[in-house]
Amino acid sequence: MNAPPHWLARGIGSAALTPAVLILLVGLTLWAVGQSGAVGTQSHQTVVILLTLAAVAAGCAALAWIRPQRAGLSPPHVMLSLGFGGMLLGLLYDFYDAGPARLDSLCAQSANLGFMDSLQLHLEFLPGMHAGMLVGGLLAIPSLRLLRAHCGRYLCSLFAQNLMCSSWMLVGMTAGALWLSRWQLAAGTSTLPGMLGGMFVGMTWGMVISVALYRGFFTLRNRAQTKKAA
C-alpha cells in the first residue's frame, strides 16, 4: 500500500496533536493553580482536574465529529486553539494581578449568583482571561486567510461565524464556571480550580454548540433549496 502524501499525513497529525496539546495545557494550568495553595483536599482537586480533562476531550471529539476535516485543522479547531491560547495568556495576567486568594474569593461569591450577575463579575475581575479568548478567536480570521487562500472570499461569513462562536464560548465559560464551582462549594473546598476548569469546559462546548447550530442551519437551507428546485 502506498504511503499517504506528506501534506496529508502532516494534516492528520496536526488534527490529532492540537486537541492533545489543548488538553495538556488545561491539565497543567489546573495543576499549577492547585500548587498555589488556594485548594482544598488533594483528592477532590484531582477529581476536578480529571473531570475537566474528560469534558474538554469529549468536546474536542464532538467538534471533530460535527465539523470533520480530511486534513489539517478545521476553522472551528483553529479558532478554539487560538481562543485557548489567548485565554491562558489572559489568565496569567489575571492570576498575578489579583492573586489566588482574591480569585478564590471571587469564585465563591460568583457561585452564589445568577448567570448574568456571575458573567458581569467574571468580566470585571477576570478581564484578561475573557479579552484573551475574544482576541484569540478573532485572530482565527487572518490565520485562516494565511492557511487557506480561498477563505478570503468568505471573510464576511467567517466574521459572522466568529462572532457567533465567540458569543457561545463566552456563555459557555460562565455556565461551566457556575457548574463546577457550585459543586466544589457544596463539597467545602476551594472553588478556584472548579471555576477555571468549568470555563475551559464551557468554552469548548460553547464552540461545539455554535458549530452544530450553524451547520444545522446550512443543512436545512440546502435541503429546502433542493426540494424547491425539484
Instruction: Judge contact between 181 and 21, C-beta under 8 A.
Output: no
Q: Which of 87, 11, 24, 90 is nearest to 57 (CA)?
A: 24
- Establish if 193 belongs to a structural domain: yes
pLDDT value at residue 204:
92
Distance, CA of 156 to CA of 85 (rounded, Å): 24
On the 0-12 / 13-18 / 19+ scale of CB atoms within 10 A, 150 is exposed
Residue 72's pLDDT is what? 58
Phi, psi (degrees; rounded to nearest 5) at 44: -70, -40
Owner of C-alpha cell 482576541: 135
d(CA 60, CA 219): 22
Start-end of H helices in the chain: 6-34, 42-66, 75-98, 100-111, 115-125, 127-138, 140-147, 155-187, 192-229
- Over its length of 230 residues, how does the chain's per-residue pLDDT go in tens digits? 444 444 333 444 455 677 778 888 888 888 887 666 554 556 677 888 888 889 998 998 888 888 776 555 677 777 888 888 888 888 888 888 877 777 777 777 887 888 898 888 888 888 888 999 888 888 877 766 665 555 545 555 667 778 888 888 899 999 988 888 887 777 666 677 778 888 899 999 998 998 888 888 777 877 777 777 76
pLDDT of residue 36: 62
Whole-model pTM above 0.75?
Answer: yes
Report the alpha-carbon distance of residue 149 to residue 153 in Å, rounded: 8
For residue 141, what pLDDT is reported? Answer: 74
Domain that holds residue 199: 6-229
Non-local (6+) Cβ contacts of 68 within 8 A are 74
Q: How many CB atoms lie within 10 A of CB 159?
A: 12
Between CA 87 and CA 56 the distance in angstroms is 15
Asked, for residue 1, whether it belongs to a domain, the answer is no
Query: From CA 6, how far away is CA 77, in angstroms rounded?
Result: 21
At 73, which amino acid appears? L
Residue 162 domain flag? yes
Task: Count CB atoms within 10 A of the CB of residue 103.
Answer: 24
Total domains, the chain: 1
